[in-house]
């Protein structure tokens, strides 16, 4: 009932449609495993129209050269041997492929109707079979074949065909976990289309017919299982992009036949609704409202690629959509760290639309400040206040601050308790990191640990969460924290949040740039005695030592950093934490905790000094 009270009135119509659609789908007879030939002919307006469609397809797709460097032969040969990359690891998926298995735990979902399946279980992570069944590896094989052009590499498209047929045989429509939601069907369909188009001449007519039938099934499934729940997320955007791709691919040339209008309806509906969803889910500054950098990147990739595919096929896309895509792409470039990765604010589940993306459309290049060491230079901020992302660059120095709300209209489905947390890097070496996500439904305790306050570079008061985690809910946070922040000058940023207001405490944080690093000053207004804990998460394999109130890294080469505090009553401990840079994998990493029991108000200052700058400054002074 608490969840129902949080749903706004305007969201009820689509939510009720979603609930009704699911109940009707569970009661009606599932579709046949395959389309009858007569139904297949009728879909395209008759046998002659189908023949013309197969003989002279008009669908246009990106070339292999658009996808950048091709995959290596070792990568493709590994897929041939059924050693396939899934969520950060490579697994032997068996002969035949076990499409419904979690290869980490060994649990396999039965081939039951989706209405009878328990997708969420601690026995296994359903994202494992979902990821395999998205067929990203099929695009890799197709690009490998397109790059070599050698006769012996006919084994690449042959392997794709064998796996495609095997998947269809093992996963009839609406049976098994891989039909668990429309998003999975949409991503799978896009990857099938991409692989097929990249090596179309290598496929026989029977494969073409089978693919067309499978895509019709996927289009109908998506259209009847739209994920219109509240709040709307990247799932509905994926549904709409999938309908657009399938609609473009299946849109026949013939104007005859009632059924031939079906893909046109999918295409038109997808474009209209995508425009609406972008207005809802993309903030005015161009960032996703889901409070996750990874999900912003994922949505930007799928929408950008979909828009360009439409334009490639002569379909007019509203200028508002194109402008939104440019903003989204610019946000991704602004967030990018010197090593090319994004800060891990919010959830990260490794989601991709295609495993290899065609070169992005042109958009304004994000300005960079001077290329020096960052010592005393005039830095530059990229600011996305609606998302709460603030990025500072000065030469090789990078700082990203998170100071936003829980996202998803306060629902917090992919948000973490990361108010006033940050990541810090010098060049390609990241020192302070966000620990990431690691797991969703397969391990609720770990899920909650990685989104907790203690697993972010921020302050915890009296062991409380910044936003309370509702018991039993893995994709919601209580909307406790109002967060604001902003640049006061080129060298100073200041923000605060109200997550601890319920216990009479406010957390204010100030970042001030100095020639050799940063001063981080935390002010904690309030009354009475409280336990304060500050957490600083280092990157994996970062060598760290503690010397009194000073903590420093000891890489054999520069840069290094040292962090210290002026609050002598603080207790410093170096512990072992975890960092998950990729969903499903975690690595041990140093975790530094500063603890203080004090009467409020309190002000504590941390100074982060980069040692290479201080050493160079000292040498210069000696020479002078």
Decide: 559 and 426 in contact? Cβ < 8 Å.
yes
Compute φ and ψ for 426, nearest 5 degrees. -125, 115
Q: Are residues 386 and 270 in the same domain?
A: no
* Domain finish residue from 281, 301, 323: 281
Task: State whether 519 and 386 are in the same domain.
Answer: yes
Cα distances from 249 to residues 236, 258, 267, 300, in angstroms, run 20, 18, 10, 22
- Residue 4 falls within a domain, yes or no? no
- Confidence band (pLDDT; 50, 70, 90) for 172? very high
Q: Is residue 286 within 8 Å of 253, Cβ to Cβ? A: no
Backbone φ, ψ for residue 396 (5° rounding): -95, 5
Which run of H or E residues covers position 216? Answer: helix 205-224
Same domain, 385 and 256: no
On the question of pLDDT at 368 being above 60, the answer is no
Judge if 586 and 439 occupy the same domain. yes
Q: Are 385 and 255 members of one domain?
A: no
Does the residue 166 lie in any domain?
A: yes
pLDDT at 573: 95
586 and 451 housed in the same domain: yes
251 and 394 together in one domain? no
Same domain, 387 and 254: no
- Do 269 and 389 lie in one domain? The reply is no
Residue 80 pLDDT: 96
Tens digit of each residue's pLDDT (9 = 90 or more) over 508-567: 999 999 999 999 999 999 999 999 999 999 999 999 999 989 999 999 999 999 999 988
DSSP letters of 476-518?
-------EEEEEEETTEEEEEE-TTGGGTB-EEEEEEEETTEE
CB atoms within 10 A of CB 349: 20
**Whether 417 and 277 share a structural domain:** no
Distance (Å, whole) CA 506 – CA 253: 63
Q: What gap in Å lies between CA 26 and CA 28, rounded to an integer?
A: 6
| 8 Å CB contact between 578 and 587 | yes
What pLDDT score does 107 carry? 97
d(CA 241, CA 187): 9
Q: What is the pTM of this model?
A: 0.93
67: domain CATH number?
A: 1.50.10.100
3-state secondary structure of 577: strand
Kindly state the percentage of the chain with pLDDT values over 90. 78
Tally of structural domains, the chain: 2
Bridge partner residues of 121 (DSSP) = 124
High-pLDDT (> 70) share of the chain, %: 92
What string of DSSP letters covers 442-459?
Answer: T-HHHHHHHTSGGGSSSE
Phi then psi dihedrals of residue 414, to 5 deg: -120, 15
Q: What is the CATH number of the domain that holds 463?
A: 2.70.98.70
Give me the phi and psi of 579, to 5 degrees please.
Answer: -130, 130
Residue where one domain finishes, among candidates 266, 281, 296: 281
Domain that holds residue 519: 381-623
Residue 371 has pLDDT above 50, yes or no: no
Let me know if residue 277 belongs to a domain. yes
pLDDT digits (tens, 9 = 90+) for 89-130: 999 999 999 999 999 999 999 999 998 999 999 999 999 999
pLDDT > 50? residue 424: yes
Q: Which two tokens stand for residue 112?
A: 């039951």
Residue 397 lies in a domain: yes
- Whether omega for the bond prior to residue 522 falls within 30 degrees of 0, making it cis, is no
Residue 33 lies in a domain: yes
Instruction: Compute the distance between CA of residue 270 and CA of residue 352 in angstroms, rounded to an integer.
Output: 19
């Amino acid at each position: 009932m608490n969840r129902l009270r949080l749903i706004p009135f305007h969201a009820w119509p689509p939510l009720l449609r979603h609930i009704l659609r699911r109940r009707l789908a569970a009661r009606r007879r599932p579709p046949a495993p395959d389309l009858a030939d007569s139904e297949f002919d009728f879909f395209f307006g008759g046998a002659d129209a189908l023949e013309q469609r197969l003989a002279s397809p008009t669908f246009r797709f990106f070339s292999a050269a658009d996808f950048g460097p091709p995959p290596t032969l070792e990568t493709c040969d590994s897929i041939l041997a059924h050693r396939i990359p899934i969520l950060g690891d490579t697994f032997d998926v068996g002969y035949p492929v076990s499409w419904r298995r979690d290869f980490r735990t060994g649990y396999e979902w039965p081939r039951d109707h989706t209405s009878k399946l328990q997708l969420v279980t601690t026995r296994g992570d359903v994202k494992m079979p979902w990821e395999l069944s998205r067929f990203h590896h099929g695009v890799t094989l197709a690009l490998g074949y397109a790059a070599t052009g050698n006769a012996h590499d006919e084994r690449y498209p042959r392997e794709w065909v064998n796996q495609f047929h095997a998947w269809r045989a093992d996963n009839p429509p609406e049976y098994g976990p891989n039909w668990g939601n429309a998003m999975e069907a949409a991503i799978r369909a896009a990857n099938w289309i991409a692989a097929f188009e990249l090596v179309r001449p290598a496929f026989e007519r029977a494969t073409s017919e089978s693919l067309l039938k499978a895509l019709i099934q996927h289009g109908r499934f998506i259209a009847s299982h739209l994920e219109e729940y509240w709040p709307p997320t990247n799932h509905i955007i994926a549904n709409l992009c999938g309908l657009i791709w399938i609609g473009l691919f299946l849109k026949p040339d013939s104007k005859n036949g009632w059924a031939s209008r079906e893909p046109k309806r999918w295409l038109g509906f997808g474009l209209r609704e995508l425009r609406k969803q972008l207005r809802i889910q993309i903030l005015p500054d161009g960032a996703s409202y889901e409070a996750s950098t990874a999900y912003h990147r994922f949505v930007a990739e799928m929408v950008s690629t979909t828009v360009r595919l439409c334009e490639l096929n002569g379909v007019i896309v509203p200028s508002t959509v194109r402008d939104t895509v440019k903003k989204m792409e610019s946000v991704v470039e602004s967030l990018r760290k010197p090593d090319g990765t994004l800060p891990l604010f919010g959830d990260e589940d490794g989601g991709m639309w295609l495993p290899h993306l065609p070169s992005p459309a042109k958009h304004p290049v994000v300005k960079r400040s001077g290329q020096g060491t960052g010592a005393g230079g005039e830095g530059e901020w990229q600011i996305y206040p609606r998302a709460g992302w603030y990025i500072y660059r000065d030469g090789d120095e990078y700082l990203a601050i998170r100071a936003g709300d829980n996202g998803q209209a306060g629902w917090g489905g992919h948000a973490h308790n990361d108010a006033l947390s940050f990541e810090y890097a010098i060049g390609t070496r990241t020192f302070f990191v966000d620990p990431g996500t690691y797991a969703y439904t397969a391990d609720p305790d770990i899920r909650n640990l990685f989104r907790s306050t203690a697993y972010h570079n921020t302050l915890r008061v009296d062991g409380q969460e910044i936003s309370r985690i509702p018991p039993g809910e893995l994709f919601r946070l209580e909307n406790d924290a109002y967060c604001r922040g902003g640049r006061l000058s080129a060298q100073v940023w200041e923000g605060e949040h109200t997550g601890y207001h319920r216990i009479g405490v406010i957390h204010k944080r100030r970042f001030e740039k100095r020639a050799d690093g940063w001063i981080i000053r935390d002010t904690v207004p309030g009354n009475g005695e409280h336990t304060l804990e500050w957490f600083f998460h280092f990157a994996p394999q970062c060598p760290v030592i503690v010397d009194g109130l000073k903590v420093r890294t000891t890489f054999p080469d520069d840069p290094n950093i040292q962090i210290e505090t002026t609050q002598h009553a603080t207790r410093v401990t170096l512990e072992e934490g975890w960092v998950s840079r990729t969903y499903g994998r975690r690595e041990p990493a140093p975790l530094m905790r500063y603890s203080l029991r004090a009467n409020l108000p309190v002000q504590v200052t941390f100074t982060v000094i980069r040692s290479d700058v201080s050493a160079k400054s000292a040498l210069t002074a000696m020479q002078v």
